[in-house]
Amino acid sequence: MKPIHTLPVLILAGSLAFTGCDNKPTVADGPGKPAAQVSEADAIANFKKEVEGIVKWEEDSKKTTPPNDPAAGMAMMTAMIAKFQAVSTNGLPADLKGPWGEFTGVLGELGTLVKGMPKISKDKPDDGMKAMMEMLPKMMELQTKVEPIVKKLSEVGKKYGLDALDKVGPGK
């Protein structure tokens, strides 16, 4: 490659690198629209609203999900994972954003595990029980992995007035 052709690429790469150095949090106003600035306080307030909404949704869903229908329970879990993963972290302080990313990462692993599980029929409970028993070791591993993260989220949640973080995680 001739040096003259390399120069425009270097200039473009440099300008992209420098325009990406502005660490001000942004949030898109919609597809194709420019991003608007978000203050840390607004980011925390938005995060709180989103998490509280999911916790409320989960509580309501538990009331309407038949306890002896494993397929319905798995569908609810899959929906909950997607909701938690969709929570915006733009503008959050690092001590909150980090553990939340770890938490949703473990949830992603759980989602992958659940997706790989065969369909469970309430008409064949033995098949469902067998599938659950096969998943149990991996689920226990994920629970062990997520417990310290949930504890960290709870602690940092107190710092920012995020009581709903005490209600996320296994057994909550």
**Taking the mean position of all CA atoms in its chain, how far away is CA 105?**
7
What whole-number distance in Å separates Cα of residue 57 and Cα of residue 47?
A: 15
Looking at residue 171, what is its pLDDT?
Answer: 66
pLDDT digits (tens, 9 = 90+) for 65-104: 888 777 788 888 899 999 999 999 999 999 999 999 999 9
List the chain domain ranges.
Answer: 40-167
| Range with the poorest average pLDDT among 52-56, 66-70, 111-115, 125-129 | 125-129
- The yes-or-no verdict on residue 10 having pLDDT over 90 is no
Task: Say which residue, 51 or 115, is predicted with more confidence.
Answer: 51
The beta strand positions in the chain, using DSSP E, are: 26-28, 35-37
Report CA-CA distances (Å) from 148 to 30, 102, 138, 143, 168. Answer: 35, 10, 17, 9, 12
